[in-house]
Structures are given as C-alpha cells and as structure tokens.
Amino acid sequence: MGSTRHNRARAGFTLIEMLIVLAIIGIITLVVLVSQGSFNRSITLSNAAYDLALALRSAESYGLAARVPVSGVTHTGYGLEFATGTHTIFFSDSYPAAPSACHPTPPAGASAPDAKWGDCVYEAGQDSIVTTYALNNGLTVSDVCAYASGARYCVSAGTLSRLDVTFVRPDPTPFMAKDGVYNASAPITSACITLTSPQGGARSIAVALTGEIDANVASCP
C-alpha cells in the first residue's frame, strides 16, 4: 500500500514537472515570436527608409548629370514629391522653360547654355514622371515636415500639404519647395519624412540644405 502511495505521489510530481516545462516552453515561444515580429518590423522600416534615401540620391545623380528628358531642354532638375500616403513621385523638372522663381535668368539671358529649366516642383501633366515609388507591406508616409528660419511646417499639424525636393547642377544643394511653391526669400533649409508600419514603429529620413540625406533618424524634430 505504501508503494502505491509512493507511485501516486511520484506520478503527481511528474505531471507537475511536465506542466512547468510546457509553461516554460510556451513563454519562450511567445517571447521569440514577439521578438521576431519586432525585428521583422524594424528591418522592413529600415529597408523602406533606405530605399527612399536612395531615391533622393538618384534624383541628385540625375540632376547633377544634367540628363535630358526632352530634346532641347537644358540643365533639367530631378526631384521627388513627398506627401502622405503610399506613393512618392520621382520626376524630371522640365516645366516651365527657363527662367523661374527658383532658377533666375543667367547673365547671358534665358537662352544661354547655363539657363536652368523647371520651377523646383512637380507639375502634374507637365513634368515627366521618371518612376513612382510604392511602399509595400502596409507602410505609409505618415508625416512630412519642412523647416525654414525657425519655422516648422508639418502635414500632421495642417501647415503643409506636400514637399518637393529637387536637384539640379552644378552643386548638390537641394531646392525644397513647400506646398508646390518655391520661396527664394524664405527657403526651406531642411526636411523630414516619416514612415510608419501598421504593426507599429516608425522611421524617418532627414534632408539637409547641404545635400546630406540621413535614413537612420528615429523621429522628426
């Protein structure tokens, strides 16, 4: 009889030990799944941020190389139009013909070889679209901010609707236009584009007037 009690007690302890082991396995599995999800989200956001940063670099490269999208057009700028949503337009700034608000008439006149076309903004139906970048995996541009002379304009604050960042030779300094208008008297000196994931998390891309592009910004200032 004593042996029977001993066996029952041993069986009870074995069951408890199994339940404890299963609980530990369950906790570890949950931690791994949560960590994996967070890691995947972080990687996806980082990749998207670097893709947009590379798109800006491509616009800079195209602009400095003075690619000619249309016969007869000289010194054409290239840029990206940023607004909230899932798409960003990469365009050639060939409209209007030189000069414009952001590209004054050179000393030799509007027909001089160094005259620059475009107005530093994307004009739908006029400027050519090089490509349209689409964000995947549910990612969106959730906010766009522009900064000028101590002022801060953001889509989230209702003080900005869109931002155009354009590059044209001979230097890498970007022309940044707020709400479809380039203001030479109060130019935008820096900008920040924020990407967010539906699973949570955000990553931002900063653009400076010096031409510096940073795809590893935790948040916009």
- How many whole angstroms separate alpha carbon 158 and alpha carbon 213? 25
- How many whole angstroms separate alpha carbon 187 and alpha carbon 144? 16
The three-class DSSP label of residue 117 is coil
- The DSSP bridge pattern shows strands 128-134 and 87-93 to be antiparallel
Polymer length in residues for the chain: 221
Residue that wins the pLDDT comparison between 24 and 189:
189
Nearest to 60 by CA among 81, 74, 80, 46: 80
- Our measurement of the distance from residue 155's CA atom to the centroid of its chain's CA atoms, rounded to an integer in Å, reads 14
Residue that wins the pLDDT comparison between 177 and 118:
177
Average pLDDT over residues 49-73: 83
> Which domain range does residue 96 map to?
2-217
Q: Tokens for 130, please give them.
A: 């090089």
Sorting pLDDT into bands at 50, 70 and 90, what band is 51? very high
Around Cβ 78, how many Cβ atoms within 10 Å? Answer: 28
Amino acid at 80: L
Residue that wins the pLDDT comparison between 94 and 49:
49
- How many whole angstroms separate alpha carbon 56 and alpha carbon 212? 10
Average pLDDT over residues 18-25: 70
pLDDT tens figures, 64-115: 887 766 555 667 889 999 999 999 999 999 888 877 888 887 777 777 767 7
- Percentage of the chain with pLDDT > 90? 50
43 to each of 37, 175, 216, how far by Cα in Å?
A: 10, 30, 12
- Cα Dmax for the chain: 114
pLDDT of amino acid 33: 47
pLDDT tens figures, 110-165: 777 677 888 999 999 999 999 999 998 899 999 999 999 889 999 999 999 999 99
- How many whole angstroms separate alpha carbon 81 and alpha carbon 88? 6
For the chain, how many structural domains are there in total?
1
- Contact (CB, 8 A) for 164 and 120: yes
Enclosing H/E stretch for 147 = strand 140-148
The three-class DSSP label of residue 213 is strand
The structure's pTM equals 0.79
